[in-house]
Structure 1
Amino acid sequence: MEFTNQPILIWFVIGYGIFMLILGVFYSKKISSSEDFILAGKSLGPIVLMGTLLATWVGSGSVTGGQNSLAYSFGLWPALMSTLPSLIGIGTIFLISSKIKHYGKYTVAEILEVKYGRWASVLAALIIILAFVGIVSYQYQGLGFILNISTGISPEMGTVIGAAIIIFLACVGGLMSVAPTDAASAFLVILGLIIALPIALSVGGGWSEITANVPDSHMSLTGGLSFVQLMGYYLPTLFLLLGDQNIYQRMTASNNDKSTKLGTAGWILGLIVVTPIISILAFISRSLFPDIDPGMALIALTSVLPIAVGGVLIAALTAFIVTTGNSYLLSAATSVIYDFFGKYMKKDITDHQKLVYTRVLIPVLGIIAFLLTMYFPTVLSVQMYAYTVYGAGITPALLAVFLFPQVTRAAGLSSMVTGLVVTLFWEFFYVQSTEINSVIISVPAAIIVLIVVTLFTKDKNQGMKEVAE
């Protein structure tokens, strides 16, 4: 089937965009402090928490990268199995969610500083910026794909427009406005995907016709990938999720422990519904459009669905991409202000100044994220880089704070340095020649260093601050 643009779809995107702008401006008026801006005044109930967790996690990473790109490039089974790392990660977070809530910190770097000292905070902030700016960059690309489908403008111009939209929304209201728009987006996405699935199966000619039109390797369990290659796609997701500052901030922003538990449980249920449908729809798109960019698979499918269904789905996908971009851009700016600027450059910074400086910094980081889109060839490649920088550099040391109280300051710092350096070294010098993602090397290295250094330095760790119970 030939792919054609559907300009009428842009009205659905515009309509939902206007709704998000109105909602964002409305909630921005409730902001009076930096805590309101960063943690929504610690007021999130279970429904909004569930929605914002789902929308933050299942953004462009799933609808252009992740399950979408895996299903299109390698087949249905690799994409379906890629949900398992997320479920394992969420289950682990569920078990420690009360500890995260009671820690009450604005950033992951602040948590690490309590356990490992000042330099851990500085290093964590650097890693978070490197990773989150990368994650924001492919949200721009995802929105660029949507504007290409719905208007016919080039993906490059669409990416520029997408960057402007995401930067503006992140500046307006912080988490106070992001969380409600996240929740609305999450429920719209669930509705749009459920409606689209049976219609897409019919448009594709039924399951037999769909499977007949894809390569034989797409029907195998591994999609032609080796075990090491599969782990190269799955482990970055798991290790980002286990330490994701966005997720920790949302846990802290809930109004009580019960809301945290219920919101996390709802997140699991939403993920079980959403990600398999994304995988199936992208697989159907592979049958219909065999020669498009893998990142466009799910988005391209909206052009052959009935207008109302395609419109709802493309609006929903837009919502997920925009809210994820908002969240990670806000989180990166928060790290700069709280973990660099407020501690080392302007120690007497007031709460109002934190709010103002965070809003000023968001466009700066947003522009850097846009420049990064020019370096990586595909959404999936930048996604794996960003996830691994964070997952190897921060997650082992961060989880040890909650699960391994014997860990020492030297071990935490050594693990973070190892994870970051090995990831960057592998990404720049070996990933293309070996076709092995850096996570296979850097995460085990970071964990081994964490354990070994702890064993050699545990007797010198008696004066270290203990983790708050």
Structure 2
Amino acid sequence: MLLFSIITYLALTVLVGFWASRKVKTSGDFMLAGRSLPLVLSSAAMFATWFGSETVFGASSEFLKNGLYGVIEDPFGAALCLILFGTFFAGKLYRMNLLTLGDFFKIRFNGRTERVASLFLAPPYIGYTAAQLVAMGLILNVVTGLETWQGVVISALVVTLYTFVGGMWAISIADFMQSIIIIVGLLVLAVILAGKAGGVGVVLLEMPRENLRFFPDADFKEIVTYIAAWSVLGLGSLPSQDVYQRAMSSSSERTAVWSCYIAALLYLSIAMLPLFISLCIRHMYPDQLTGDTQLALPNMVLQHTNLPIQILFFGSLLSAIMSTTSSSILAPAAIFSENLMKPLIGHRYSDKQLLLMTRISVLIFSASATIMACLRSNIYELVGESSILSLVSLFVPLTLGLYWKKANSTGALLSMVLGMLTWIIFEACDTSWPSLVPATLVSFLGMLAGVYLWPQKEGMYGKN
């Protein structure tokens, strides 16, 4: 019955994609849902941006090992990103009326900067999508006994199909339905487990005091590491196409801004539920924590709850992960087709042909992520790495491009390239310091060098 329910749910999701495809007439409809989403749909889409495998599996696993201090990156850093994006980025970017974040670099700097930025924007999504596919593979492994890689392939086929046909319209409508299932499912499970454990107070009192630590000790290196943890998603996901396309799909600038704030509040609130549930597991079923702690939650539900709760839980899990996966497939596909392929082909193709190209790009990035998901299995690491790549290369040129009139294309290029090179060098040297810290600093210095050593005359949004 559980397997039948999962199959039914996956089939319904695909049907949503086909239904939404009726609204897709242009590439703008496919990428940004025609910039017409009301506040409810827009907020649900923003909430679902990261509420996937890393929140339910990865963060709860890290929380059991390291307490609150171990999950600064997500959910706290993720919520910070939504607040910062709504406050400083959403309004300015919405008024520019662009299809992709890559378009910003073309309008603000020039075509060469657009192409280089797009090369840094798209590839990180392969690892991020792979993390979501791994999670769905783990779910199918627990429920059906399929090998994880087989579950990965099946999940990739389903998500790719409804994203391919419906684009951002399908994602947004599915996100709304899936957000409801996520919230209800996790709330019901948390209430049931709290009751079985003797109450919320009993569970929290058993938690070791060190697991409540939220702030670093007065040590310079630890403080730097702490700030770096906040920055991985808090700053690293600001220059990301999936956050951009969800906000820019809103029906107005005000809707775009407020959807970020509402989503941040929802995210931080609902993301606490998997952490609390993991404490309940440790209290009542400590044997479930042996082996891969990423599997503790689904194994516990499967072995110690009745069928309706299993259906609700696995339905909410699939909802969370599928909503995240679909946008992480569409995001690089939009960048690839709009900012890399379109400049190469010029005006020789119609908008319908560009729409087809974007859909083909969906298939390419989905296949790449599926291969990576079959080779790697640590969800939290895959997500963190993908955000770090955006932080060290794109955060500085995007932020200074919006807020500093002197920022120029040379500075933007130096910022992207030097930031990424510095990160690679520090990763290769395997130092005890977070590699993103020196890399982000060098990225900032690269922009300064371009501005003051190679000054250029250009307007705020003019080409050079």
In the superposition, the TM-score normalised over structure 1's length comes to 0.88
Which one-letter code corresponds to 2:230 in the other structure?
Y
Residue 235 of structure 2 aligns to a residue whose secondary structure is: helix
CA distance in 1, matches of 2:383, 2:112: 27
The residue number in structure 2 matching 1:68 is 60
Q: Is 2:265 aligned against 1:272?
A: no
Closer, same or farther in 2 for the Cα pair 1:385/1:305, shift >3 Å? same
CA distance in 2, matches of 1:73, 1:311: 28
Q: Is 2:386 aligned against 1:386?
A: yes
* Residues 293-315 of structure 1: CA deviation (Å, up to 9, x unaligned): 23334433432334322321221
Would you say the 8 A contact 1:217–1:223 is kept in 2?
no
In the TM superposition, residue 229 of structure 1 has moved relative to its aligned partner by 4.5
CA distance in 2, matches of 1:298, 1:441: 37
* Residues 303-337 of structure 1: CA deviation (Å, up to 9, x unaligned): 23343223212211111211211111111111111
Between 355-364 and 253-262, the greater mean CA deviation after superposition: 253-262
2:234 corresponds to which of 230, 234, 238: 238
The residue number in structure 2 matching 1:323 is 323
Which one-letter code corresponds to 1:74 in the other structure?
N
The residue number in structure 2 matching 1:454 is 451
The residue number in structure 2 matching 1:292 is 291
In the TM superposition, residue 346 of structure 1 has moved relative to its aligned partner by 4.9
CA distance in 2, matches of 1:56, 1:69: 20
CA distance in 2, matches of 1:56, 1:321: 10
Which one-letter code corresponds to 1:54 in the other structure?
F
User: What are the ranges of 5 or more consecutive residues in structure 2 without an aligned counterpart?
Assistant: none
Q: Is 2:19 aligned against 1:26?
A: yes
In the TM superposition, residue 137 of structure 1 has moved relative to its aligned partner by 0.8
1:17 corresponds to which of 3, 10, 14: 10
Would you say the 8 A contact 1:402–1:467 is kept in 2?
no
Closer, same or farther in 2 for the Cα pair 1:376/1:213, shift >3 Å? farther
Residue 243 of structure 1 aligns to a residue whose secondary structure is: coil
CA distance in 2, matches of 1:375, 1:448: 36
In the TM superposition, residue 132 of structure 1 has moved relative to its aligned partner by 0.9
In the TM superposition, residue 281 of structure 1 has moved relative to its aligned partner by 2.0
Which one-letter code corresponds to 1:180 in the other structure?
I
Between 273-282 and 349-358, the greater mean CA deviation after superposition: 273-282
CA distance in 2, matches of 1:410, 1:348: 30
Would you say the 8 A contact 1:79–1:279 is kept in 2?
no
CA distance in 2, matches of 1:32, 1:109: 22
Q: Is 2:444 aligned against 1:463?
A: no
Which one-letter code corresponds to 2:291 in the other structure?
I
Q: Is 2:255 aligned against 1:262?
A: no
Which one-letter code corresponds to 1:91 in the other structure?
I
Closer, same or farther in 2 for the Cα pair 1:89/1:21, shift >3 Å? same
Would you say the 8 A contact 2:405–2:460 is kept in 1?
no
In the TM superposition, residue 420 of structure 1 has moved relative to its aligned partner by 2.2
Q: Is 2:433 aligned against 1:441?
A: no
* Residues 254-300 of structure 1: CA deviation (Å, up to 9, x unaligned): 11223223322321221132112222223434553222323334433
Residue 424 of structure 2 aligns to a residue whose secondary structure is: helix
The residue number in structure 1 matching 2:364 is 364
1:199 corresponds to which of 192, 196, 202: 192
Residue 153 of structure 1 aligns to a residue whose secondary structure is: coil
CA distance in 2, matches of 1:160, 1:436: 37
Which one-letter code corresponds to 1:113 in the other structure?
K
Closer, same or farther in 2 for the Cα pair 1:463/1:209, shift >3 Å? closer
Would you say the 8 A contact 1:239–1:392 is kept in 2?
no
CA distance in 1, matches of 2:377, 2:16: 35
In the superposition, the TM-score normalised over structure 2's length comes to 0.89
Closer, same or farther in 2 for the Cα pair 1:435/1:218, shift >3 Å? farther
Would you say the 8 A contact 1:83–1:275 is kept in 2?
yes
Would you say the 8 A contact 2:36–2:251 is kept in 1?
yes
In the TM superposition, residue 387 of structure 1 has moved relative to its aligned partner by 0.8
The residue number in structure 2 matching 1:253 is 249
User: What are the ranges of 5 or more consecutive residues in structure 1 without an aligned counterpart?
Assistant: 1-7
**RMSD over aligned Cα atoms:** 2.7
CA distance in 2, matches of 1:93, 1:370: 30
Between 49-58 and 279-288, the greater mean CA deviation after superposition: 279-288
* Identity over aligned pairs, percent: 18
CA distance in 2, matches of 1:77, 1:284: 19
